[in-house]
Every structure is written in structure tokens, then in C-alpha cells.
């Protein structure tokens, strides 16, 4: 699991499909390709034009949909799906998405990737007005606002509801006969449109379109409500306009390198991060190694620009899962050792540049450094392809508290000593932004504390659970 | 499962507990004792005064709570529980009860046994007003009405909501610090109060109080809202007053013979049914046997009054469960044979009175009759300790359609021929009522078609699902 | 589970089928009907004439064969099956039967019901000769002896092997193209032959034949090896001849009342036990009740002979399974209460005769007596339809140690006081034997200590495990 | 799973532990690190000096030992373990290792990695002599031979047995108080000894020692029986002496790059394979990519020697498991697409060298080539870091039949056309051998057809199953 690797937790993946026979099967494939964006629960809602079908469960896509019979019980040409990593709302089945409710117009299902910042007061208002909440997720707020809208058509209901909400979100919504895809006005989270033989596919990342075999068409625009029905595509706009504030961490770490997000190849951006890192923080070393797999591309970029040889110095065990038993809790290094094993023949007597994409607590890197030295590395020079993380994210990433961040309130030299490396270099904010885009338009709040949207007071993860609602799975 | 035995399906069991350490464990025990009232799903919500905890699942109580860790994760001195047999609403996990939602006053959980007859229009009205429904169960309607009530305290909210609803129901409701028990104005479904060392227990049948070790105090009154909190018991009244219309089928078949319901021992009533049957329909026979286990007591009553010897002529296999595989669908008798085996030594060359408590489709009895004859019975005289079932129930029992009822539109002689028995006698309506109570006050709609409350048009089981909501488990 | 009811544990059920399409399905049905003879593990081996297929698992028949695909993976017209309750050998999957091994003649599978008394020395001898044992069950000894036999045909190999072994056993053996059924020379355990449309069925009890729809043909004779192949039935004889020593406890408790064993209806014998008990130990009482279900027939016999009315005074909960959680270990009565609930309306102010078929430790009865009194019984007169159990069984029944037997070393009066009843009467040995058969020929060792076959020293349950072999499931 | 990637199936991993508290936990960790050597079943046998405990199951190590309670039920300081990939013997639980049997000296457990070539005749001989086989695995033959040995001590029994057997094997054996490790006289399969604080650890690869935290001591020698007991290490020798014939495929593909086998770092050998490949088959290209993950190191070697830039052109999805549902069987490319996604930004308009370590059927590579071209690759130059595979392996690797091998009977040009690549170069036999060792001593039978040991006729995978033994899990 990603968080075990001392990375921020990812912020869900969504998908919507229209006009594809057995749409649930394509949704399953897309969710499978988006597995890295959420491993807690998974779900699909499909429609055959008359009835709407839902299946959700805890665990990986393969676990939730381990039986072809389950997929066959989700008939129809329309579907939306969701992989969830808990952000707002705790780890429980009733929070699994897509949510499915009954409107007067019929069943409506909704998948949600991201986070709202002003749901607290709106939720309060709704509750005062007699609304009842069955989950602690923000998604239910959207549905309540839509249900209370006076607008007639679904797209207008959505605009009505979303005009009241602020935040970072990508949504997929399904009714009996159409699907909708929405992105917030700042375009925080990625969302792409694909096409294959007249069928349409919307997914958080293009790697899902690739697996389905669909061709990339374009991004859903920031502030766009894209409606897909039998009569084709119709584009609506949210009322609010704002400057683009795409999450730069998607390029740094979240998205798969084979995806295109924000109209840019992740792979290209990530390599550039490594190159800029090499320019800013050269090293006098023999080899460059990566902390696999997320830092591979940046490490190649560093190696290429610095002229230092790229080597595979750490082997990652891909069989690690949630169920691994760590019997001896006193063996602190074991958690890291079970994931990574150093390649002694590569490291022995070498001065090693280690490239990692980001550091949260620093726990993994401290153990890795010890491990590398034990395997014979003479020097360890850590290079990080993003700036120090110092502030929480209110837009969909799950960090530890600020106090737990290794970079919070420490100088670079203090961090270096804490990690036990010979030298330490973080990519500068400027170097990072330049690597990703010429034009800017990114949210860098976790590195800078500059928040494009200020959250309501105490927008903590369990915000809506102060009402003391807890469901045990 | 009961319905496989050609009986109406039972209509759920509920429980509420206040002031008992580890209330969830007592709720588990009570639900276990009420297993016969619903085998589809089971659930418990507990409260420790601060937070509220929920666990529900598909299957028997023992399956849903197979791990002590699950019970331990439901802390606190308050709990409500539910065993569900689907009546309104289809067989899906999201319909599992208790429901748990957030009010502005905090979390509220609700368990529901019975059926409303006018939710269709109210649901429509709520939906027009922007309410969204996440389940197809009536229980959600109660919660929506409560949430919209202008009343301040919870008991008044309940009265507000229930004054608008008509039907047959017993309810258990939990907030952070109190539980409530309600029975409809006609007292359709049983609900009893027990006490043990200062803790209070409410359950559909007293056999649950027995297992817990609580002493029976009294019935919850028809039309009563009983509030149980740290300050003791407070009794509120619903606005509507009406004559008692207790479900007579509870005495005929549903309730356990060791329970006391409607202030009467089921065992005593059931034995009296058998005696009256013997008076009305004597038989010239050698032995009396029962269709075990539900008809045992009535058969004893018949034997005692008629002077004919009671024998055990059918052995019932209690290992039968849902998972039994019937590989050869062409073997129609197999379904009956797997549940019952005749005792040849008892039956050979005997004239046999078979006592059954009720007949729905007649399929089981037709097979049983063939089986008894094959085992040597010379004559088979069927005696039924209730009148012919001719009409659907709108108050919580699950029957097949009228056309499938063996007694619908057929004379007794036609039924006798259909079942292949030598003689057939049904207890008269009068004989049944007298057996159960001196004072009357029972609903006999399924035998007479006289409905104390007329349901809205097309109040079929899937009423609220015409909106095409379907959730796959 | 039976042992939780303070009864000796049953001693396995076996089945063999020849000439029936999809024989595994019939085996499954037969094992299902024999579930009461063993709930620990279940297994089937089938043959399609070319290959031999096996599936075994821990738990009830319905659990082990919960998926029709498993039964479909056991093709062919021949099958043998087994329900196991651990006697010799501990509770582990590798002891699940049927065993399947390769002989030079091809695959051979064996199911075994009963116990040998001289395997210790033979096992030793085999091991000295280089045999290796993979289970701790006696069944493997039979197979080793057969494999080492110089005889050519399988029936002779069986005779060769079994002539060396002493004990109480019924066996079912399968090769690629035939099945065999064997009963020990004393005919300790029941085993019957049935027929249906040219196919043959062998089962421990006839209730299995009933469920399959096969007609009872005859018992497998004591000392008979019945070979069933394409050319019909061939009967072989073991060398040893001995007087019949059928287990009388089969009639007292083990077998189902709807079965015929030892050529006698269990029901008839059991009723006679009750009648003789009434003659020997009359009571001045108002009602007779049974400890359900195993004592029902004896209680009817008692009631019929004594003229005292039979009533249902205890309701048994049939949902109890292994998984039931008893959270409060200090509540000693709970284990009994969860299985039985008294019917107060029946018991109040009554002098009650309680009929039970046998008593082992007495724990359940002591709790039941308290429960009956609490429900209002004025007097409790316990009548037991068999003599006091004082000695261990070496022939397939699982008792607690002698010291734990309530009747061991105590007078009737001491037992009465221990159980807290007003009077206590056990059926005499003579009364029991006369009830079951005119001719005698029964083993009564557990009541008398007279052992037809003396076991080797220390033939304890874990005999072969002193070699320290333990397999965890 | 590896075979789905068109590679030969791996040949099991074994482990033995002596003197380590909670040895089963260390065995679990070691097996976890050896997961790549067998994913079908896993098992551990432990000893506490008195009793011996066993647990085996189907699936990954994490699945079989998903509950700490299972590991806690395997107490003691001695343990052996096994990961199985079926070679001889079919995919069934009863073939799961370690096997555990009872000798006259007590319990003996055995784990086996490799394959014997002359068990057919010996098995026949044993069966004629009355031995019975319960599995279809060769391991049971070893145990039968040992049980029949006249030697007194266990090491001599092992020599006695193994002197009769020919083949490629590494063994781990456990008795109550000692463990043994054996390697065949040619040293076919790797097996290493480690030490940590006085405890000894034997494992197929050193990556298992690394995870445990043990220090590498030395290889178990070809022909050595290493006995480990309370009195330390004793080394015995098998009678046969032979030239070393280590499996070169272990270096090419099987072993993890972070392991040391045959006293050589896999990583170093694999990089050299890539370098020699670059010398023999240069390419006029822009980038070098690997088929991840097994070819990464060879690709780096190729890139480094050729001076062409190494890039990550394919992303591998590590969530793929056995349970993945491929709903549309007509979509042939899907199986490959679900495992690999091309990185378009890297490939677009590039001339690409693809390095793979070996080719079996060629199916995956054909699909990959299409995928690379679709992603924009202008030219695809395939380089394989081992020679064409043309012959079956009788020593523990699982290949398809010769007819299915893409290189069987085809010229390089024919293969090139079949795969659809622009050029194709296989490393020469000489180039491969030189890369791995100066001294030779390797088995190259799968590349050359030169078999160091000729197998008995028809030593097919299901050799011992022609006796038609089949066990369904």
C-alpha cells in the first residue's frame, strides 16, 4: 500500500462509460488500471436504461469483483465506477462509492474524486432543513443539494448544487439513460475523455483509456459539466470561473507515468523533474539509483542530465499486501526490508545518488539509507524531485499531521542528519513548476502553504463524523 | 428456511436494550432467539453515549456476528437490533437494518417490524420536496418525516412522523443516550418489555427475554411510544386511537411456542387451536401426527381432545440450510424428502390424522401425503388448525400471489383432491378466534379479506422499487 | 453439536454407491442424511472407470460441498463417502476420509466407521518394515496391510488385511471399477444395502437410502465383504466367526428414529425403551416431557404406557451451531439456555416426568432441572431410557474419561442429588435389552464393562499420535 | 503469475531453520522472499523438540499464512518450508509440501525443489513391494526409500535413498530435533547457508537470508548432506560424484537479481548477459527499453555497453493476480495490455531496442511489439539475453511442449517475422556462458538438448498420475 511507503495517500479514481455493451466490464477494467488511486473500496453502478444496478465492496478491484457473476449482474451500456481511498469520511463500507439514491426523476448514482472545503456549513443547513445523512462522505451533500434544486434537467441541478460548493473535485454521475462528468472550476483533479467505436469513456487518468483500448479525445475542462446521452455530447459550464490550479503532486507522484493528465505526459514531466534536480543539486557520485517504482523516471532524468550511470540498486517485492504479518514489532527495519532489498553487487563501494520523488515522514528513507550502507554504499546522496512538504492538503490528499512531516520546522541540514545521508537536495519550487509546465496554473499548497481556496475551520478528515456516526464493516 | 416449508414468510424481529453493559452482546443473544422471525439479514447498532456503532450483514445472526471481535467493536450500554425477512424492499444489503442516519440532533438508528400501507404517497411527497432515498425500505420514510418535524424532542418527532403513517409496525429507535419502542395503534405486531437488574430490554417475543435472563414486565401498549433513558421509563401516546387488531397468525404459526405475545402464552393458544379442531373435525383414525415442528403443539391438542394417540410420524432434518444443493430439479419430491422422512414403523397400516397449522400453496403437503402413503399409512386425514388462507396480507407477512394460494377459489373438496388426502378439515374462523382469546381484537384479513386498514393502490412488495433502484449484494 | 448436549459423540457415517449416474450427488445426499453421525469433516471419492476423484473438507456436508461445481468435479457412476467424527486421530484435515492411495493395481479409496483394538502392535510392525504413515487414523493401517497382501484380487486382499485386525468397523472401499462394503464379524456398526433401478447403495443407516429414494434390500452381514461390480453382487466372508455384538447405543441414541438398523426399526425399539422404563420406574406426575429431539420417542413410549399426558415442555433452538459466541463465560447456564427454553404454560405448577435417553456428565440435565423449576415445575422426576454409563467404549463412541461420567462410582441417590431432581430412575440392563431385541446379541460394554474384545493396552484416542505427529488445519 | 508472462515456470523454493526462536515465523519470512519461485501452494512444518506441526495451503504465502494464529500454532526452534510450483504432480492440495510422515524413529518432514529422472521404475518397485502412495509427487519416493533403509541414523538413510535416485534436487528435511539440507551431486538448484546469532538458515536464494537478517555463510555443496543439530553442523557426502551442472536459467531469469547463487551475484551475471548481447547484436537505435521487471538488469547492461540511452518504455501493473477476469476472450491483446502499458512520450518516433531475457512461446512479445508500434515506436529491435529455447527441461523447469516453443524448428528470420520486429538477436550459447562464469559447469539442456542425465522414458509432468489418481481441492 502506498502510505506504507511514506507517501501521501492518493485521492480516488473515477470512471464513466456511455454506449458500450457490458459497460460494467469496461468499468471494471478502467478501475483496475486506476487501482493505484485508491485501494480501500471499489464499486460500480450500471444502467440498462430501465433499472440501475450497484455493487460495492471493501478491498482491491480484483477482490470486490472476483466473480464474473457479479459483473454479469450489472447489465447495461452505461456505468460509472469508483476506487476509494478514504479522505473525508472513515474507512467503512457505507462510504463506498458510487452512492446510489432515488430522486423523483428516478435513480441517480454519483462517484467523487477530491474534496470540498465548505460542506460543513452547507451540511448543517441541510440538516436544519430536515435532510438526513447516511454516510459521512461529501458526496451525499452534492446529492442533497441536487434533490432540492428547482431546476428541471439534471445538468442544471448539478450546476445549481455545485455552484454552492467549493473545492477540488472530479465527478461522474449516472442516471437511467445518461452519464455526466464534471471538473471543478480550478481543474484540480485530472479527468479525461476517450472514445472507441462510438462509445464514450471518462476516467481520472488516460492509462484507464489505454487498457480499455479507447482513444484519448481531450480533458474535461475545468468548470465543465459534460453530459453524454444518446444524442451525443453536450457541454455545460459551472457559474464560477477561476484560474487553473491543477494539483502538481499528480505529476510528482500520484499519476501513473504512462498517463497523460492536464494535457501533459506524466512521464515527460517526471523526467524533467529529475533533470532540473540534477541541475540544481549535482552530486559527485558513481551511480544513480531510484526508490522504485514511483521515482524511476525522475531518477532516469537525473542520471541522463548528470551523466552519472543509472543502476537498479533496490529490488522491490511486489507481493507485499495488506495482510503481511510483521510478527516481531521490535524489528523496526523489517517493514522496509520486506518491501526493498538492496543489490549488493551494484552498491558495494559506490558513491550513490538516491532519487526519491517526495518525503513525508522520512521513516522509510532512514531505514533505506541504513540498508544501503550495510550493503556497501560508501556515500549516500539523497535527491528529492519535489520541494519539502510543509503544509496539509485540503483538496484530496491524505497527509499525516503537520507535526509528523519531516520537513516541518526543520532545516535541510537537520533533515539530512535525521535521515543519515551524506548530502540532501530538494528540487526548488521554481524548478518543479518549470519542469511540469511553461504556463504555471498549479496548486502548490502542500509545498508553500498558499491555499487557492481557504477551507472552513477545522476541515479535518472526520469533519462530518463529529456527529459521532460510526459504521463498522 | 420457513418459506420452503410452504408457510408465509415471517415479518422481522426487533430488540432494544438500555442500561446493560455490553448491550450489543445482549442484542446478539436476543436476535439469536428471534432468528425464526427473519433469516435474510441481521444488524445491531450500539451507543456508548458519545458515539454510535453499526454492523449489519446478510445471513443468519451467527453468520453476521461470527466473530467476537465484531461484537466488541459495538461498545456501550444501549443497543437496538434487527433480524430481517424481506417484506417491502428486495433482498439486498443496503436494506439491512437498523438504519443509521445523522439528524441535526446527532445519530439516530431505527429498526422496524411490520409494514406501512400509505408510504407510497408520502414518499412521493417527500421526494418532491427534495428528499433522497437510499433504500427501498419503509423505514427510511419514518426517518425523513422525523427529520422534517418541527418538534424538538425525539418522542414528539416520532409521534409527528407516525401520526402521518398508517400500518402495522413495531419500532425500536436509538439515539446517543436513549432508546424508544413503539407499537402501532392497533397493536398488530407483538412487542414486550423485560427487566433485569435495572436494565431494560424490549423484544418482539418473550423467548428473547428468556434467553437474556430478563423478567417479563408487560407489553408495549398499542399506540404507545415508550422512551427509556437514564431517568427511567416515560410513556407517550400516538394521536390515533383504534381498536386492537393483533395478528392472529402470530399465534397460529409465527411466534415460538415458548413465547408470550399479546399477553397470552402461544403454547396455550396453539394447543387450544388443536382442541377446537378436534371438536370441529373429528376423525376415525389410529394415530395423530404433526408436521414438525410448528404444528407439534396443535397436534398434541388435537390428540388430547380426540383421544387418539399422538405419535412422531415424520422426522425433520434440522441441518437443512439455504446452501443445500438440489442437483436433480426433475425430482420434485426431493425438496420435501430432504426436510422430512416418514417413520415407517409408526405409519404402517395406520389411519393417520396429520395436523398442520396452515396451508399456503399446498405443495409440501401434497408431497408429504404421497410419502406417508408410501410408508404404509392406510388413510391420511389432514386437519388444519386455522381457516383457509384466501387473501394477501398488507401488514407484514409475505404470501405468494392470491392465484398461488391453494384455497383461493377452490372448495374444500377440490383442495382435498388436490392434496390427495382422504379427508380434510380446516378450523373455522370462530373456532380459531375463540381458541386465542375470549375478547377478540384480532386481524383475520388473510382468512377473511376484511382489512382493518385499506392499503393504497398497488402496495406490492416492490412498491418503491418501480423507481428502478436495484442494489446487488 | 451433539457432544455439547452431554451425549457420547457419534462414530462416523459411510456410504458406497455403484451404477448410479453422478454417483457423487447421491453420495452427497446420503452423507447429508447421515450428518448426525459426524460433523467434523466430510468427503467423497468418485470414479468414472478411468480416473478417481477426491474432495474432502472440514465441517458439515453442506459446507464442504457448498458449491455444485465441486460435485460436478467428481464425475462417474461409483462413489464412496464419509462423515467423520474424530475417534482415533485428532481433529485435522489430513485425517478427513475417504483416504485415497495408489496401489500397484491403481487407486484405492477407503471410508471407515468404527474402531480397531489391535492396530498399535500392527502399526509398529508395519513401521519396522518400512511403511510410512501420513495420517494418525486406523484406516491407513488397513491400506498398508492390503498393499502388502500377496493375494491378487481386491476382496482377498481385504480379507487378508482384516483377518489380522480386531475391532468394530464398517468399511466402504472403492477402486476404479467396483465398490466393496464390509462389516466386522460381530456386526458392531450398522450397514445396509439398498437398490434403485439397478444401482446399489450402501449406507450406515437406512435414512440415507430413503433420501436417495432407494429401496432397502438387507443388512451387510457381520463378517461379510460385499463386492459390487458390473457383474453384480458377490459376497465374500472374513475368516473369523463370532457371535453378534451390535452396539445397543445405536438404538438408544445414535441412529435416527426413522432408520432401520440391525434389521429393526429404531423408532420401535426406542418406544419400547420408554415403555419398559415406565414399567420399571413409574411416577406420580401430571405430565411427561422429553429432552428434545433424541428422547422424543422414548418419552412417547413412557407416556403411552404410564397413561400420563405427553407434553412439549422444552423448545429446542435448531439454529445453534459451532460458531455461537458465548461472551459471558461466567454465565454457566447460558450454554443450556441457548439450546432449550422451557414452556412455562405447560410446566407451571406441574409434577413433571422428564425422559432422557442417556446421561454422560449430567451437566446439561442439572441446568435443565433448574430451568424447569424456575418455569414453575413443582416436581421433576427424571427417567433415563438406558442404564447408567460407567465404562469407556473401545468400539467407536467418544466418551469423556471415566472420572467425568456422573454415574461412575456414585449411587443412584448421589446422582439424583447431584442433578437436583425429585426422583431418578434408570432403565435396567435387562429392560433395555428386551426392548431392543428378543435374541440379544448386543454389546453393552459402556453399561457393564463387559468387553467382547479386549483392547491392547492404552488404546486411547490419540494412540498413534504419541509419535508426535500433529497437523494444523 | 510468471507463466502468464510467457516464461518457464519456476521450480519451487525451500527453506530450513535451526535454533531460531519461533522458527515458523522466520520460515514464513523466507518463503515470502522466495514467493517468485512458486505461487501454487505453501507450507511450513515446525518442531519444538517433542511434537511436529504442519500447515499447508493453496495460494501465495500471504494467503496461506494470513492469520498470525496459524503461525503461532507452529511452535518450536526448528522449521522447514516450501513454496510449490507444480512440476511433477498436478495442482492439488495433497501435493502441497512439506510432506510429513511417521517413521519408526518418529515424524519426518521433507521439502523438495527440483526433479528426479528415474523415479518411475523405483516407484514401480516400491509399489510391488507393498508401498502405498498418497501423493503423486516424487518427494514421497524419497521418504519410502528412507523408511526402508537399514541404516540407523537419518543422514545415512538419506544417503541410502538418494544414492538410488538421479536428478536435480535440493532438499530440506526435518526431524524432531534436527534439520538437514541436501543438494544433488551436480548442484543443479541453488541452496545457501546463512547464520544469525547462532541460528542457522538454509534457503534456495540469499534474498531470503537478507530478509531474515542472516549473514551468508556458503553454498550447500553439490553432493552434500548438511546435518544441523544442537551439536552444530556435520557435513556428509552422497556416494555419487559428478561434474557441476548448475542451471544457467537461474541466472538468466529465475532467481531474484538481489540474490547470490552458485557463489555469484545474479545481478552481476545478468548485467554481463546484457553487455555481451550488445557486443554480439548491436542496434542502430535511439533508446533501450526492458520488458519489466525480469529483464531490467540485462537491459541496463545492453544500454551501458551500447551507449544507447536506457528508458522506461513499458509500465507493468503489479496488481495483476490469478483472479483477474478477462471477460472478452476474443480480445487477444487484452491479457498483455492488462500487464503492460507503453509510455507513449518515451516511444513516439523512436527506434527502440527491446531487451527480454528469454522467449518461450512468443505470444507476449508479439502483442507487445504491436503495442509499442501503436504507441509510436518507429522501429522495434528485439534483443534476447539468452539463446533460443529448443528443448524441454527434465530438471525442474516447466515448459510448454516442444512444439509450442517459438524457436523450435524455426530460423531466426522466421521467428523475427512471427514476432513482427524489425530485427532480432539472441545471445549466443558461448556469450551466455561466459557472462555467467569463467569456469563453465552449467546445464544448458534447454538451449542445446545436451542432457547431463537422461530421463527414463516418458518422464512427463503427470508421470505418476497415469495411475489415475486425482484429488480435487
CA–CA separation, A470 vs A93, rounded Å?
A: 11
CB contact burial D182-215 (16+ within 10 A = b; e otherwise): bbbbbbbbbbbbbbeeebbbbbbbbbbbbbbbbe
Of B102, B133, B467, nearest to A133 by CB-CB distance is B102
Identify the pLDDT of residue D317: 85
* pLDDT higher than threshold 70 for residue D207: yes
Per-residue pLDDT, averaged over C226-238, amounts to: 97
**CA-closest candidate to residue B379, choices B402, B418, B415, B353:** B353
Question: Is D74 touching C (CB cutoff 8 A)?
Answer: yes
Q: Please indicate whether chains B and C are in contact, defined as at least 3 beta carbon pairs under 8 Å.
A: yes
Per-residue pLDDT, B187: 96
Task: Say whether residue B152 is in contact with chain A using an 8 A CB cutoff.
Answer: no
Tell me where in chain D the CATH 3.60.20.10 domain(s) lie. 2-245
Residue C144, pLDDT > 80, answer yes
* Residue where the block lists cell 519451487: D12
D265-442: what fold?
A: Rossmann fold (3.40.50)
Question: What's the mean per-residue pLDDT of chain A?
Answer: 90
Q: Residue D88 pLDDT more than 70?
A: no
B vs A contact (3+ beta-carbon pairs below 8 A): yes
The pLDDT > 70 percentage for chain C reads: 91
In angstroms, the Cα distances linking A232 to A45, A48, A158, A173, A217 are 21, 17, 19, 16, 14
Residue pLDDT, tens place only, A271-303: 999 999 999 999 999 999 999 999 999 999 999
- pLDDT tens column, B183-227: 999 999 999 999 999 999 999 999 999 999 999 999 999 999 999
The pLDDT score that the predictor gives to residue B329 is: 55
- Which among A89, A92, A108 is positioned nearest to A100, based on CA atoms? A108
R_g of chain D, CA atoms, integer Å: 23
Q: What single string gives the DSSP state of each residue in A19-76?
A: S-TTHHHHHHHHHHHTGGG--SEEEEEEE-SS-EEEEEEES-HHHHT-SHHHHHTS-S
Q: How far apart are CA B440 and CA B442, in angstroms?
A: 6
Q: How far apart are CA D162 and CA D151, in angstroms?
A: 13
Distance between CA atoms of C221 and B146, rounded to whole angstroms?
A: 74
Q: How many CB atoms lie within 10 A of CB A369?
A: 20
Query: D266-280 and D429-436 helices cross at what angle (nearest 10)?
Result: 150
For D324-348, write each residue's pLDDT tens digit: 566 565 666 788 888 899 999 999 9
Whether the CB of D264 is below 8 Å from some CB of chain A: the reply is no
All CATH 3.40.50.2020 domain ranges of chain D, comma separated, are 265-442
Do the strands A309-310 and D13-18 form a parallel or antiparallel pair, or are they unpaired?
Answer: unpaired
| Bridge partner residues of B53 (DSSP) | A470, B46
A203-239 pLDDT, tens digit per residue, is 999 999 999 999 999 999 999 999 999 999 999 999 9
Rg (CA), chain C: 23
3-state secondary structure of C434: helix
CATH of B261-444, one of 3.40.50.12780, 3.40.50.2020, 3.40.50.300, 2.60.200.30: 3.40.50.2020
pLDDT band at A137 (very low <50, low <70, confident <90, very high): confident
Whether C255 contacts C205, CB under 8 Å: yes
Q: Is the pLDDT of residue D320 over 80?
A: no
DSSP annotation of B398 = B
User: In the structure, what pLDDT confidence band is assigned to residue D86 with cuts at 50, 70 and 90?
Assistant: low
What is the rounded distance in angstroms from the CA atom of residue C48 to the CA atom of residue D180? 42
- CB–CB of D4/D75 below 8 Å? no
Measured CA to CA, the distance from residue A367 to residue A310 in angstroms comes to 22
Length of chain A in terms of residues written? 473
Q: Does D400 touch chain C (CB under 8 A)?
A: no
Do chains B and D have 3 or more beta-carbon pairs under 8 angstroms? Answer: no
Q: Is residue D138 very low, low, confident or very high in pLDDT (cuts 50, 70, 90)?
A: confident
Q: What is the DSSP string of B307-325?
A: -PEE---EEE-TT--TT--
Residues in chain C with CB shorter than 8 Å from the CB of B315 are 207, 256-258
pLDDT of residue C2: 38
Consecutive H or E run containing B372: helix B363-374
Above 70 in pLDDT, residue D161? yes
Mean pLDDT of C95-106: 89
Q: What is the pLDDT of residue B67?
A: 82
- Show the cell assigned to A102: 432515488
Q: What is the pLDDT of residue D472?
A: 39
In the prediction, which pLDDT does B86 show?
A: 65
Residue D466 to residue C52: CA distance in whole angstroms: 11
Nearest to D337 among A211, A309, A338 (CB): A211
Cα–Cα distance measured from residue B12 to residue D281, given in angstroms and rounded to the nearest whole number: 76
> Which CATH architecture fits A261-318+330-442?
3-Layer(aba) Sandwich (3.40)
More reliable by pLDDT, D300 or B322: D300
Look at residue C185 in the predicted model and tell me its pLDDT.
Answer: 97
Interface of C with B in 308-337 (CB under 8 A): 309-312, 315, 317-319, 321, 323-325, 327-328, 331, 337
**Could you tell me the end-to-end alpha-carbon distance of chain A, in angstroms, rounded to an integer?**
20
Residue A97 CA to residue A85 CA, distance in Å, equals 10
C-alpha cell at A43: 464499486
- Please state, in angstroms and rounded to a whole number, the distance separating the CA atoms of residues A442 and C60: 61
- ipTM for the complex shown: 0.88
- What is the Cα–Cα distance from A276 to B275, expressed in whole angstroms? 95
* Count of other CB atoms within 10 angstroms of residue D448: 12
Q: Chain C: list its partners (3+ Cβ pairs within 8 Å).
A: B, D
Whether residue D2 has pLDDT greater than 90: no
> Considering the domain C261-448, what is its CATH architecture?
3-Layer(aba) Sandwich (3.40)
H/E element holding B235?
strand B232-237
- pLDDT at residue C464, as a whole number: 37
Q: What percent of chain B has pLDDT over 70?
A: 91
- CA dihedral over D205, D211, D214, D216, signed as positive or negative: positive
CA-closest candidate to residue A432, choices A387, A390, A382, A383: A387
Cβ contact D277:D427 at 8 Å: yes
Task: State the residue for C-alpha cell 553454498.
Answer: D219
Can you give the pLDDT at residue A461? 40
Distance CA(D25)–CA(D34), nearest Å, equals: 14
Top residue of B133, B469, B473 to mutate, by most chain A CBs within 10 Å, is B469
Domain with CATH 3.40.50.2020 in chain A: 261-318+330-442
Per-residue pLDDT at C463:
36
Contact B32/C at CB under 8 A: yes
* Known catalytic residue at C12: yes
Which three cell numbers, joined as nine digits, stand for D336? Answer: 498483455
pLDDT confidence tier of residue A261, bands split at 50, 70 and 90: very high
**How many Å from the N-terminal Cα to the C-terminal Cα in chain B?**
20
**Cross-chain CB nearest to A132 (options B147, B467, B473):** B147
**Measured between CB atoms, does C32 come within 8 Å of chain B?**
yes
C-alpha cell at C377: 415445575
How big is the C-D interface in CB pairs under 8 Å? 111
Q: Pick the residue with more confidence: D396 or C233?
A: C233
Could you tell me which chain D residue has the CA closest to the CA of C124? D104
Residue percentage of chain A with pLDDT more than 70: 91
- Residue A89 binned pLDDT confidence (cut-offs 50, 70, 90): very low
Q: What is the per-residue DSSP string for A378-412?
A: SEEEEEESSPPP-S--SSS-B---GGG-TTTT--H
Segment of A182-196, C76-90, D389-403 carrying the highest mean pLDDT: A182-196
- Residue positions of B annotated with a catalytic role: 12
Chain C partners within 8 Å of B28 (Cβ): 325, 327
Neighbours of C434 (CB within 10 A): 15
Q: Could you please report the per-residue DSSP string of D243-278?
A: ---EETHIIIIIS-TT-EETTEEHHHHHHHHHHHHH
Residue C403 has pLDDT above 90, yes or no: no
Give me the CATH topology for the region C2-245.
Answer: 3.60.20
A40 at the D interface (CB within 8 A)?
no
In angstroms, the CA A473 to CA A468 distance is: 16
3-state helix, strand, coil in chain D (%, to 5): 30, 25, 40
Q: Point out the least confidently predicted range of B76-80, C142-146, D252-256, D462-466.
A: D462-466
In angstroms, the CA B283 to CA B308 distance is: 9
Banded model confidence at residue D3, pLDDT cuts 50, 70, 90? very low
Amino acid at each position: 500500500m502506498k502510505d506504507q511507503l511514506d507517501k501521501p495517500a492518493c485521492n480516488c479514481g473515477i470512471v464513466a462509460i456511455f454506449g458500450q455493451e457490458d459497460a460494467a466490464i469496461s468499468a471494471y477494467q478502467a478501475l483496475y488500471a486506476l487501482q493505484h488511486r485508491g485501494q480501500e473500496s471499489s464499486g460500480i453502478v450500471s444502467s440498462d436504461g430501465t433499472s440501475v444496478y450497484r455493487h460495492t465492496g471493501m478491498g482491491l478491484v480484483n477482490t470486490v469483483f472476483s466473480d464474473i457473476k457479479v459483473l454479469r449482474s450489472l447489465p447495461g451500456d452505461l456505468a460509472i465506477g469508483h476506487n476509494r481511498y478514504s479522505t473525508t469520511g472513515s474507512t467503512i463500507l457505507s462510504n463506498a462509492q458510487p452512492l446510489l439514491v432515488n430522486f423523483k426523476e428516478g435513480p441517480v448514482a454519483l462517484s467523487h474524486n477530491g474534496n470540498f472545503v465548505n460542506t460543513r456549513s452547507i451540511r448543517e443547513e441541510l440538516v436544519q432543513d430536515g435532510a438526513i445523512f447516511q454516510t459521512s462522505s461529501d458526496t451525499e451533500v452534492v446529492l442533497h443539494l441536487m434533490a432540492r434544486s428547482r431546476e428541471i434537467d439534471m445538468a442544471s441541478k448539478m450546476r445549481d448544487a455545485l455552484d454552492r460548493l467549493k473545492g477540488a473535485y472530479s465527478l461522474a454521475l449516472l442516471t437511467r439513460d445518461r452519464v455526466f462528468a464534471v471538473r471543478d472550476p480550478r481543474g484540480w483533479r485530472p479527468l479525461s475523455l476517450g472514445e472507441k467505436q462510438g462509445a464514450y469513456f471518462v476516467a481520472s487518468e488516460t492509462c484507464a483509456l489505454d487498457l480499455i483500448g479507447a482513444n484519448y479525445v481531450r480533458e474535461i475542462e475545468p468548470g465543465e459539466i459534460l453530459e453524454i446521452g444518446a444524442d451525443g455530447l453536450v457541454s455545460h459550464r459551472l457559474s464560477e470561473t477561476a484560474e487553473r490550479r491543477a494539483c502538481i503532486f499528480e505529476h510528482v507522484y500520484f499519476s501513473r507515468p504512462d498517463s497523460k493528465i492536464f494535457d501533459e505526459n506524466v512521464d515527460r514531466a517526471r523526467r524533467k523533474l529529475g533533470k532540473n534536480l540534477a541541475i540544481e543539486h549535482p552530486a559527485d557520485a558513481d551511480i544513480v539509483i531510484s526508490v522504485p517504482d514511483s521515482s524511476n523516471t525522475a531518477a532516469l532524468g537525473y542520471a541522463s542530465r548528470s551523466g552519472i550511470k543509472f543502476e537498479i540498486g533496490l529490488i522491490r517485492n511486489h507481493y507485499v499486501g495488506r495482510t503481511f504479518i510483521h510478527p516481531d514489532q521490535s524489528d523496526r527495519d523489517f517493514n522496509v526490508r520486506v518491501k526493498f532489498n538492496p543489490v549488493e553487487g551494484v552498491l558495494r563501494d559506490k558513491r550513490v545518488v538516491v532519487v526519491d520523488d517526495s518525503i513525508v515522514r522520512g521513516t522509510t528513507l532512514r531505514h533505506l539509507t541504513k540498508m544501503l550502507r550495510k550493503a556497501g554504499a560508501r556515500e549516500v546522496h539523497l535527491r528529492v524531485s519535489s520541494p519539502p512538504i510543509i503544509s496539509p492538503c485540503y483538496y484530496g490528499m491524505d497527509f499525516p499531521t503537520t507535526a509528523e512531516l519531516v520537513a516541518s520546522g526543520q532545516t535541510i541540514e537537520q533533515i539530512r542528519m535525521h535521515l543519515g545521508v551524506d548530502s540532501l537536495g530538494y528540487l526548488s519550487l521554481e524548478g518543479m513548476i518549470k519542469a511540469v509546465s511553461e504556463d504555471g496554473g498549479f496548486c502548490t499548497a502542500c509545498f508553500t502553504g498558499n491555499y487557492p481556496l481557504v477551507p472552513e475551520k477545522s476541515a479535518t478528515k472526520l469533519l462530518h463524523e463529529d456527529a459521532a456516526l460510526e459504521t463498522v464493516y
